[in-house]
Structure 1
Amino acid sequence: MATRLVQINMKARNDSALGAFWAEVLGWEVSSEGPGVTNLEPEGFVYPDPVAVCIDLIVSPEPKTVKNRVHVDLATTSAAHHAEVVARLKDLGATPADVGQGDVPWTVMADPEGNEFCVLAPSPLHRDSGPIGAVVVDCVDPRAMARFWGEAMDWTVHEVTDHEAVLRSAKGVGPYLRFVRTPDAKTGWNRVHLDVRPYPGDDLEAAAARLRTLGATAIDLDQKIHWKVLADPEGNEFCLLTPA
């Protein structure tokens, strides 16, 4: 009864404007489930498919006050492509960002609402990942995250070190999921979080119970919703969506 990563959820002051920015960045289509909700996915995409991790932008009045613990890494194919992507992002409204990265081969930027993301240096690792090379989650213990998420999902664990844990869909397509060790403590709710989904025919309650036995904790939002909100062993919130 494993799950799989299907999308990331991002809070936004203006979901339609931020959605338009990210649609231009990724070359994806924009749709809406209703006021305050903007969905992004590749053109012709049949949801869900591990070839892409989609983005849901949800309107929220809460301001961004700290560095996000979840962000995306954009893939590039060459040094020239990297420079072209960075220049294009600036034209679209992104700005350079300093998160203490120092001298690194990638470029750290922020979208128009201040959400950090990286433009990666070219690497064979991301040659077939699509525009998003990786979804990155800050953590204290990558090995513990690999144990939990490697059991929670049917994604393959590719690498585990004291510095990071790397997973990818068992089908070998789409972006990687990276848990990177950071000294920063988690404060408050994550403005960006993971959404996972069981497979058709699975039971939502049973899937939630299984995640709790692996170390997740349930979060009661005191509202009627048709999905489950949980937190991983390090307190990172995530949503367990209905089977599909």
Structure 2
Amino acid sequence: MASHLFAVCFGANEPLRVARFWSEILGRELVDDPRDGALVLPDDKSGFRLRFPQIPEPKLLQNRAHLELTSDSPEHQRQTVARALELGARHTDVGQLPEESHVVLADPEGNEFCVLGPGNTFLAGCGFLGDVACDGTQAVGYFWSEALGWPLVWDQDEETAIQSPLGGPKLAWGGPPLMPKGSRDRVTFDLAVDDGDDQQAEVDRLVSLGATLIAADGEGAVVLADPDGTEFRLLTRR
């Protein structure tokens, strides 16, 4: 048994505002989250939800994970950037160099994301939402490959990436050096087991792979941490 990636979560002070932004940018349906916040649905079976749970803490540090959007042409990249700015994004500096072809923006709550230029071979065929680029070690890439049952599609110089067997966006980890970790990660994963599957058995399996059990969260979910100490949740259903 492997967990399903239910959603990539972005903790938000105003969930609906941020979710509307991403719904418009990605052209995906926006629905209410039955647990808390809002959900942006995947556009096909190879994708995953974006979830925006409400949290009280303001954003103070650069996120340790960000979305990367792909472009078919220089004009497509310009159009995506212009549309994002029109919807409330802003340019932001994370140390990128002037000669680099990607554009770094922040959404209405400051979550960083990149609009890549055309010709990115690493994300070829992944779709408009190319990947979730995460700060993390090689070991954590191996952990998530086993946890989700997604094969490694990149493993070089301590950088790793995995992708669903169905295709779609990748999850990637950049290796050392790692960024400073705040008191709470704003970008996390929600995993799920299907109705009728044994949640405790899946908790045990994840722990055997290197996760640490933290606690139950009172909503039928179990909170764990991956080998890098980034918390994630295991839900009871997809």
Question: Shift of the alpha carbon at 1:105?
Answer: 2.1
C-alpha deviation, 1:42, in angstroms: 4.1
* Distance across 1 between alignment mates of 2:213 and 2:72: 41
SS in 1 for 2:165: coil
Q: Deviations over 1:124-144 (max 9, x none)?
A: 5545423310011101x2x21
Q: Find the residue that maps to 1:129 and give its secondary structure.
A: coil
1:119 maps to 2:115: yes
1:99 to 94, 97, 106: 94
Ranges in structure 1 where 5+ consecutive residues have no aligned partner: none
Structure 2 gap ranges (5+): none
What is the aligned counterpart of 2:105 among 106, 109, 114?
Answer: 109
* Contact 1:164–1:180 under 8 Å retained in 2: yes
TM-score of the aligned structures, taking structure 2 as reference length: 0.91
Task: Answer yes or no: is 1:210 the counterpart of 2:208.
Answer: no
CA distance in 2, matches of 1:224, 1:2: 23
- Code of the aligned partner of 1:32: D
Contact 1:146 1:165 in 2 (8 A): yes
The 1:75–1:200 alpha-carbon spacing in structure 2 relative to 1, beyond 3 Å, is farther
CA contact (8 A) 1:2 1:199 kept: no
2:230 is the counterpart of 1:233? no
Instruction: Determine what percentage of the aligned residue pairs are the same residue.
Output: 37
The one-letter amino acid paired with 1:130 is G
Runs of 4+ in 1 over 6 A off after TM superposition: none
AA of the residue aligned to 1:41: L
- Asked if structure 1 preserves the Cα contact closer than 8 Å seen for 2:17 and 2:108, the reply is no
Q: Trace 1:188-207 onto structure 2 (pairs within 5 A).
A: 188-199=183-194, 201-207=196-202
Superposed CA offset, 1:163-216 (max 9, x none): 410110012x21011011243222211111112223565311101111111110
1:61 corresponds to 2:56: yes
Give 1:161's aligned amino acid.
Q
What is the aligned partner in structure 1 of residue 145 from structure 2? 150
Letter in 2 for 1:203: D
CA distance in 2, matches of 1:192, 1:169: 20
* Secondary structure in structure 1 of the residue aligned to 2:77: helix
Report SS of the residue matched to 1:59. coil
TM-score (norm 1): 0.89
- Per-residue CA shift, 1:97-123, capped at 9, x if unaligned? 111122422111100110111112223
Give the stretch that moved more between structures: 13-22 or 3-12.
3-12
Give yes or no for contact 2:15–2:37 (8 Å, CA) kept in 1: yes
Residue 78 of structure 2 aligns with which residue?
A: 83
Distance in 1, Cα, partners of 2:153 & 2:207: 24
Cα RMSD (Å): 2.0
Pair 128,162 (structure 1): closer, same or farther in 2 beyond 3 Å:
closer
Aligned counterpart, 2:133? 136
Residue type of the partner of 1:238?
Answer: F
Name the residue aligned to 1:178. Answer: 172
